[in-house]
Amino acid sequence: MQTLVKELVETKVGKVKENELLAHHTTIKIGGPADVFVEPDSSESLRKVMAIVRKHQVNWRAIGRGSNLLVSDDGIEGVVIKIGEGLDELVIDGEEVTVGGGYPLIKLVTVISKQGLSGLEFAGGIPGSVGGAVYMNAGAHGSDMSRIVKKAQILFPDGTIEWLTNEQMEFSYRTSVLQTKRPGICLAAVLQLKKGEREEIVAAMQKNKDYRRDTQPWNYPCAGSIFRNPLPNYAGKLIEEAGLKGYAIGGAKISEQHANFIVNTGNAKAKDVLDLISYVKRTIHQLYGIHLETEVEIIGRKS
């Protein structure tokens, strides 16, 4: 690993750290160390990072702003690549928007709305990066990224870069081809939006933002929705009806504000969250015969 780190530093790809705690890079503030942590300063630097990773044949994992992510207490083996500054370009051309994978989604929604472009209002208040939103087909209020992504630029592990069309991205509920068949990193996306009344668009975006703030526990570190909605049911409603709001294991607690959120009350470990997830799954299955599936992505070394 030392040879790999030396090569990354000498290649000047951006920030390179060893044993970086991923609790500093997740919204739930949980996560052990990454063997190597890299923050590329450009898409070209990212390509160089991937080439070095391939050469040394080590495991790698890309992250964005760390929402919808639960990292093991034992951390992550290999290289963790954070997609952020340096991959956050933004070009607005009429109703078409080209945006880097590292661009913050909340910021994009605000900028786009003020430009009088409609289609992204649903994402008001959704944390995370554009790349992460494309990767997991983020959505809310009856819409999602699949409705507006025209194409996405993907860097694959073998170093090739392809533009995948909306159809090739194989979007479905909170997932895409990047999770299922073709692992890769979203470098950029082209969004197809529509011109509209600026005031109406900003108002709709703000309404969604306010709703999220008023109904979800963003005053505590959390990872976003823990479970996928088993439609036509809703995970939060089932968990609340089961009387589990406020139930805690260690420092992890089911939010009293929204039952599909697990919050870190200050000293939670990943194990606390995982034990709580297992308890909720067992309870919901016993009561309703429904198998809940996690929406939050669980990664890292197994204890």
Beta carbons of 31 and 270 less than 8 angstroms apart: yes
The answer to whether residue 20 is catalytic is: no
Locus of tokens 């068949």: 181
User: Per the structure block, which two tokens stand in for 88?
Assistant: 């956050």
Name the one residue in this structure whose structure tokens are 């739930």.
28
232 prior amide bond cis, ω within 30: yes
Name the catalytic one among 67, 113, 225, 255. Answer: 225
Q: How many CB atoms lie within 10 A of CB 173?
A: 13
Specify whether the CB–CB gap between 235 and 245 falls below 8 A.
Answer: no
Q: CA 115 to CA 196: how far, in whole Å?
A: 9
Four-point Cα dihedral 293, 297, 302, 303, nearest 10? -80
Residue 174 appears among annotated catalytic residues: yes
Rounded CA-CA distance 43/186 in Å is: 10
Q: What is the DSSP letter of 123?
A: G
Residue of 61, 65, 174, 212 marked active site? 174
Phi (first) and psi of residue 276, to 5 degrees = -70, -40
Backbone angles phi, psi at 199, to 5 degrees: -60, -40
How far from the centroid of its chain's Cα atoms is residue 200's Cα? 28
- Our answer to whether residue 85 is catalytic in this structure is no
Catalytic residue set: 174, 225, 295
